[in-house]
Amino acid sequence: MIPLTLQNTFYRVAVMLILSCSVFTTLQAQGETYEADRAFYRASKIYEYGRNHKDYYESRSALKTAERSFRNFLRNHPGHAERQKAYYRMAVAQLLTGNLESAEANFAFIIDKYRRGQLVAASAYRLGAQRYNEKLYGKAERHFRIAAQESKKPALRHQALYQQARCLMLSGAKKSALTPLRNLMKEESAYQDTGRLALAHILYELNEYEEALSHFEVLQKKIGLGENVKVEARLYTGLTYAKLGRKKEALEIISETIDTPGLKSEFKAKAQNELFTMYFDNQQIDELIEIDNIDGVERRVFIENELTWNNIIITLWKIKITQ
């Protein structure tokens, strides 16, 4: 029988061995974490150096080195907390050094694997920009929509909403563009005024005149807005008044803005034809003849109430003959 003191000695030795193994395992894990952290930090510093350097060749070289460093980090440290960030930075480095196929694959991987968060938003925006440049507006719109939904940064969210709306407009889905444009109106941003103008024009085309008018009126009163945009908003305020039956106000605004220097020819033509319609309805003969004599008037057919350009010309000639 083993003496009690010897049993206690064996017990203490066993406990010390177990504790030693546990400490060794802990130290080993800490060492691995330390190495992983160092690898990520080193790759990130090279990446930041490449992103910020002014010299093209130095920047490109650093980004290529960073891309390799991130790839090694991802291969050697599968459980690290910064893997999503490493994938994103590797993809940006690939994008900036011309490796578009790998960059897009990694951006798509981030979206599919992580689903939520700021880096998902940034990845989606990058892919949206690529598809937009390729004129694949349907695919671009889906990526911009994800970016707008996931971004917690207002600047990226606003930019994504605006680009999403542009893609919908360019693909002919103007009515669908109302949702992102209305969302863009909820917060102040660098894209709000441009988005408001686009929103007002779409509403006007969809015969939503009351809401369109509210946006045109905001734009023409906005401090710091470009004069051309204000004139355009002022003119469309008049055109919208005409659609709402407020003819006197419409005539006053359209008449005072139609000859503003720099006004786009398409807007001027639309205003001229609106004036024709109102003057014709009111039998304002002198005003009709005056517009007919304007040099360079564009013969666009925007006439409503079943009038055509030929009807007006015939009417004008009849009037002239009888004078």
182-217 pLDDT, tens digit each = 999 999 999 999 999 999 999 999 999 999 999 999
In order of start, what are the domains of the chain with their CATH numbers? 191-263 (1.25.40), 272-323 (no CATH)
- Contacts of residues 17-26 at CB distance under 8 Å and 24 or more positions apart, as own/partner, are none
Q: What is the mean pLDDT of residues 204-232?
A: 90
Write the CB contacts of 206 (distance below 8 Å, at least 6 apart in sequence): 174, 175
Amino acid at 285: I
Q: What is the mean pLDDT of residues 22-31?
A: 45
Q: What gap in Å lies between CA 109 and CA 115, rounded to an integer?
A: 10
Q: How confident is the model at residue 322 (pLDDT cuts 50, 70, 90)?
A: very low
> In terms of Cα–Cα distance, which of 296, 290, 294, 285 is closest to 319?
285
Token duo for residue 75: 């291969």
Q: How confident is the model at residue 309 (pLDDT cuts 50, 70, 90)?
A: low
Between these two residues, 125 and 313, which has the higher pLDDT value? 125
pLDDT of 34 over the 70 cut: yes
CA distances 206 to 60, 84, 266, 313, Å, are: 49, 44, 18, 29
pLDDT of 30 over the 90 cut: no
Q: What gap in Å lies between CA 116 and CA 84, rounded to an integer?
A: 11
The answer to whether 248 and 272 have CB atoms below 8 angstroms apart is no
Predicted structure pTM score:
0.76
- Give pLDDT tens digits for 67-91: 999 999 999 999 899 999 999 999 9
- In a 10 Å sphere around its CB, with 0-12 CB exposed, 13-18 middle and 19+ buried, how is residue 222 labelled? middle
> What is the H or E stretch that residue 92 is in?
helix 83-96
